[in-house]
Homo-oligomer: A and B are copies of this chain.
Amino acid sequence: MSLAALESSIDYTFKKPALLEQALTHRSHGAKHNERLEFLGDSVLNVAVSALLFTHYGSLDEGDLSRVRANLVKQASLADIAQKLDLSRYLRLGEGELKSGGFRRPSILADTFEAVLAAVFLDGGFEAAKHVIESLYVPILASVDPLTLGKDAKTLLQEFLQSRKLALPIYTVIATHGAAHSQQFEVECSVPILDLKLVAAGSSRRAAEQSAAKLTLEAALAANPAPAKKRASRARKTTQLTLPVAVAQELK
């Protein structure tokens, strides 16, 4: 696999292509693998994203900045970027990992992406790595809402209600099913003043509460409570909304 296409998609050409090759080499493949690079790349990514958020969101406090950063650099986010870059095509894996589909594993993709960033940093310096990272993250920032990104459904529902000076939701376990080791919980989330009562199930009380909060928030958003109270029965029929976007619009 020629590396020129990868260099083109990250907009960086290596002076020492061996660094990029090492970054793409999983430890299952050989001795000169990418784990030390991953250690370095993690911190390179972190500082570049931090600097980007620091300037991009001049009025966010450090708590919000930390939350947004954690979400942007978590494994799933990095694996997404790695997939956009088609990193799996360039990955060098050992036999076993190849057969077990290691090139699709999010942890391997995320680690390899970090290693590639370290390779750019070592090859071209901090500004080169920063440029690569910013090119990848600026489009992502355009699509996230920093006020909601990475918050869980219960928090979002609570903030939604507080912003309208409405009472907090009430969570009630209404049933448990199954044996102790495989219990299912049914939790109802109710917001009396909006006439909302939604039920969701989960393998823990916490998970069921989160699911119920998500349904309730979607219903509350769809019912658009600001002008008048609507019936929950109608809200229940609304289709699923993508949470962060919908909430972003509501909170603005």
Which residues in A have some Cβ–Cβ distance to B below 8 Å? Answer: 35-36, 38-40, 42-44, 46-47, 50-51, 54, 60-62, 65-66, 121, 126-127, 130
**7 closest A-B pairs (Cβ-Cβ)?**
A39-B62, A126-B126, A43-B47, A43-B50, A47-B47, A35-B62, A43-B46
| Number of copies of this protein chain within its complex | 2
A127 to B: closest C-beta gap in Å:
7
Contacts of A127 in B (CB 8 A): 126
Is B62 within 8 A of A51, CB to CB?
Answer: no
* Residues of chain B lying within 8 A (CB to CB) of residue A36: 54, 60-62, 65
Given contacts A126-B126, A126-B127, A127-B126, is CB(A39)–CB(B35) below 8 Å? no
Which chain B positions have C-beta within 8 A of A43? Answer: 43, 46-47, 50-51
Q: Which of chain B's residues have a CB closer than 8 A to the CB of A42?
A: 50
**Listed A/B pairs (29) with beta-carbon separation below 8 Å:** A35-B61, A35-B62, A36-B54, A36-B60, A36-B61, A36-B62, A38-B62, A39-B50, A39-B62, A39-B65, A39-B66, A40-B47, A40-B50, A40-B51, A40-B54, A42-B50, A43-B43, A43-B46, A43-B47, A43-B50, A43-B51, A44-B47, A46-B46, A46-B47, A47-B47, A47-B126, A51-B121, A126-B126, A126-B130
Q: CA of A141 to CA of B119 in the docked complex: distance in angstroms?
A: 24
Minimum CB–CB distance from A56 to chain B (whole Å) comes to 12
Contacts of A130 in B (CB 8 A): 126
Chain B: minimal CB distance from A47 (Å): 4
What is the minimal beta-carbon distance from A77 to any residue of chain B, in angstroms?
16
* Residue of chain B at shortest CB distance from A36: B62
16 more A-B contacts (CB under 8 A) besides A36-B62, A40-B50, A40-B51?
A35-B62, A36-B54, A36-B60, A36-B61, A38-B62, A39-B50, A39-B54, A39-B62, A39-B66, A40-B54, A42-B50, A43-B51, A46-B46, A51-B121, A126-B127, A126-B130
Query: What B residues does A121 contact at CB under 8 A?
Result: 51
